[in-house]
Structure 1
Amino acid sequence: MEDIAREKAQRAPSRAGSGAAKAAPARAPAARRAPAPAPIEEEDDSGDAVADPWSREARELESPRSPIDDPEVLLDDARSFLRELEGGDRIAFWGATLVVLSCFIPWKETAADGDFLGLISLGFISFLFAIATMVFVGLRARQVMTWVNPMLPWGAQMVCSVVTLVWSLVFLKLSSDTTLVPSPLGNSEMMNSSPSIGCFLGILGGVIAVLGGLMGLKRQQE
């Protein structure tokens, strides 16, 4: 009996110790350390500066310049084209240019409606053929149509120049009406219709264009 009582007495403290061990709170996990910040690299001032993507130089390097995007390219092409013109081609080109410019001033004056610009009258036909003359001069000067006979663009240029001159003369005849009618200003009389300075400039430009074309033919034969 004494042995049994002794064993019970030994078991009781051991159970109490195990219960106390279970009741003890668990340790909190150790806090993690934040990673050390990466070292900041200093900018190398000795290297080349980064190009500004919005600068004009950067855009020129990225994409080729075109006349549509850069008007300076168009002006450079125009200057080089005018420098390439020689002799009769230059005369014909400037003669046709004179016809084109004359269409922006009055070609006819009427007593009822006043002045009429060449662009809003029958002088527009001379304007179109003068533009065609300039185009054919450019084709010949730049030698664009090398696969055709050189006389073909010259012939087209001459036809356009002659039509420009002839139609300007026809317009001069059509716009001349010597019938006297009362003037809208004052008590005087004036012609019903008369050609204006633009028509005469168109005739002059047509003559110059035809002469330039004939000089161009002489150069073609040489």
Structure 2
Amino acid sequence: MEDIAREKAQRAAPVRTGSAKAAPARAPAPRRAPAPVEEDEDDSADAGVDPWSKEARELETARSPIDDPEVLLDDARSFLRELEGGDRIAFWGAALVVLSCFMPWKETAEDGDFLGLISLGFISFLFAVATMVFVGLRSRQVMSWVNPMLPWGAQMVCSVISLVWSLVFLKISSDTTLVPSPLGNAEMMNSSPSIGCFLGILGGVIAVLGGLMGLKRQEG
């Protein structure tokens, strides 16, 4: 019995009694500090800007592909202020031609008034717009890489064609044949030019004179 009890005691004892000491626990690795987040330049620039101020609207316009109407108006005002001498005269002469096309260019006994935009006066309208465009390109020096005389020549050609066509329209719209008036018993010409045609001729003359003045100043 004593031998049996001794064997049970030996089996219950731990197998390793003199084993080496356990290795000390490894210290946790130090945590890395998070990398600093780089602030966007645009965000830092906008930090102190009032969102309702003019500067904020201009900054927002620079990011957007669609221009703010107020910015466009400011740009147009600055462009008109920059025009000088012959350029200003030519520009406003062409603008008068464009404005005249929204008025009657011809009056007929059968159909009444015809606006310049819905008649052959539309040709003068197109060349007047082209004149204004070339004045703007020259004044803003958009085409500085080409010969300076090319924009001048294009402007003069457009303004001359606008004037000549207005004179041609004046001729072809005049029909002195008397026909009964649609109102009353009076008679009237079959076709006659209206106020828009005369304003188109006046604007064409002004545009040509302005171009000649600017060209003379350029050569001088």
TM over 0.5: yes
Give the whole-Å Cα distance in 2 for the aligned partners of 1:215 and 1:190: 42
Match 1:94 to one of 92, 95, 105: 92
Give me the CA root mean square deviation: 2.4
Alignment CA distance shift 1:93-1:62 (3 Å): closer
Q: Is structure 2 residue 196 aligned with structure 1 residue 219? A: no
Q: Is structure 2 residue 157 aligned with structure 1 residue 172? A: no
SS in structure 2 opposite 1:144? coil
Equivalent pair of 1:65/1:73 in contact (CA under 8 Å): no
Give the whole-Å Cα distance in 2 for the aligned partners of 1:190 and 1:196: 14
Show the 5 A alignment for 1:1-222.
61=59, 64=62, 68-222=66-220
Alignment CA distance shift 1:66-1:153 (3 Å): farther
Give the whole-Å Cα distance in 1 for the aligned partners of 2:68 and 2:199: 34
Which residue is equivalent to 1:45?
A: none
SS in structure 2 opposite 1:78? helix
Which residue is equivalent to 2:37?
A: none
- The one-character-per-residue Cα deviations of 1:190-218 (angstroms, maximum 9, x if unpaired) are 00000000000000000000000000111
Equivalent pair of 2:58/2:71 in contact (CA under 8 Å): no
Give the aligned residue type for 1:106.
P
SS in structure 1 opposite 2:95? helix
Alignment CA distance shift 1:68-1:166 (3 Å): same
Structure 1 stretch displaced more, 200-209 or 142-151? 142-151
- The one-character-per-residue Cα deviations of 1:146-185 (angstroms, maximum 9, x if unpaired) are 1111111000000000000000000000000000000000
SS in structure 1 opposite 2:202? helix
Aligned length: 174
Structure with greater Cα Rg: 1
Equivalent pair of 2:127/2:159 in contact (CA under 8 Å): yes
Give the aligned residue type for 1:96.
A
Alignment CA distance shift 1:218-1:65 (3 Å): farther
% identical equivalent positions: 90
Give the whole-Å Cα distance in 1 for the aligned partners of 2:78 and 2:53: 27
Q: Which runs of 5+ in 2 are unaligned?
A: 1-46
